Amino acid sequence: MNRKISKLLSKYAVVSEQKIGDLKKFWHTLSWQEKTRERLRMEKQLSPVESEETETAEKAE
């Protein structure tokens, strides 16, 4: 598992209210095709959350 995936799983664990350990175990059971699909799905699901955080930070300034 590389740093990019680790960060993605950490962010996803916070948003989805899951344990990071459970997500990492799940990640290790996937094939490379499944990992690609899951990574894209997680990034898509996190993108609205990240844009909201950016907007909130911009408004605070």
Give a yes or no: residue 59 inside a domain. Answer: no
| pLDDT number for residue 43 | 93
Give a yes or no: residue 45 inside a domain. Answer: yes
Give a yes or no: residue 47 inside a domain. Answer: yes
CA distance 30 to 27: 6
Give a yes or no: residue 13 inside a domain. Answer: yes
Amino acid at position 24, single letter: K
Domain span at residue 22? 3-51
| pLDDT number for residue 27 | 94
Q: List strand residue ranges (DSSP E) for 1-61, in order.
A: none
Residue pair 39/27 in contact (Cβ under 8 Å)? The answer is: no
Give a yes or no: residue 56 inside a domain. Answer: no
Give a yes or no: residue 14 inside a domain. Answer: yes
Give a yes or no: residue 32 inside a domain. Answer: yes
Task: Identify which of 12, 17, 4, 24 has the alpha carbon closest to the alpha carbon of residue 50.
Answer: 12
Tens digits of per-residue pLDDT, 46-58?
A: 987 666 665 555 5
Structural domain total, the chain:
1
Tens digits of per-residue pLDDT, 5-61?
A: 999 999 999 998 999 999 999 999 999 999 999 999 999 999 876 666 655 555 555
Give a yes or no: residue 34 inside a domain. Answer: yes
